[in-house]
Amino acid sequence: MNKQLVICATAAVALAATTASADLMWDEAIDGDLSGDYLNPTQLFTKGVNNHVIFTTVGAEANGGNQDREYFTFEVAVGYQLSAIILDAFETDPETNLGFIGVAEGSVFPTSPENADPTTLLGYTLPGINNVGNDILQDMGNGAASQGFSGPLGAGTYTFWAQETGPSTDNWDLNFVVTEVPAPGALALLGLGGLVARRRRA
> Rule CB under 5 A: which residues touch Ca ion?
33-34, 36, 55-56, 68, 70, 97-98, 166
User: What residue spans of the chain are helical by DSSP H?
Assistant: 3-22, 28-31, 137-141, 182-201
Q: Closer CB to Ca ion, residue 25 or residue 34?
A: 34
Least distance between Ca ion and beta carbon 163 (Å): 9
Q: Closer CB to Ca ion, residue 44 or residue 153?
A: 44
Q: Closer CB to Ca ion, residue 72 or residue 158?
A: 72
Q: Output the CA–CA distances (angstroms, integers) from residue 10 to 50, 143, 181, in the order listed.
A: 21, 45, 29
Q: Which of 141, 173, 137, 139 lies closest to 25 in space, CA to CA?
A: 173
Q: What amino acid is encoded at 104 in this protein?
A: A
Least distance between Ca ion and beta carbon 1 (Å): 50
Q: How many C-beta neighbours within 10 Å does residue 80 have? A: 18
Least distance between Ca ion and beta carbon 128 (Å): 8
Tell me how far the alpha carbon of residue 109 is from its chain's centroid. 15
Least distance between Ca ion and beta carbon 179 (Å): 28
Least distance between Ca ion and beta carbon 169 (Å): 10
CA–CA separation, 128 and 143 (whole Å): 15
Please give the residue whose beta carbon sits closest to Ca ion in the complex: 166
Least distance between Ca ion and beta carbon 138 (Å): 21
CA–CA separation, 94 and 92 (whole Å): 6
Question: Beta strand pairing status for 123-125 and 80-91?
Answer: unpaired
Q: Closer CB to Ca ion, residue 156 or residue 166?
A: 166
Q: Closer CB to Ca ion, residue 34 or residue 178?
A: 34
Q: Closer CB to Ca ion, residue 153 or residue 170?
A: 170
Task: Please confirm whether the linkage preceding 94 is cis (ω < 30° from 0).
Answer: yes
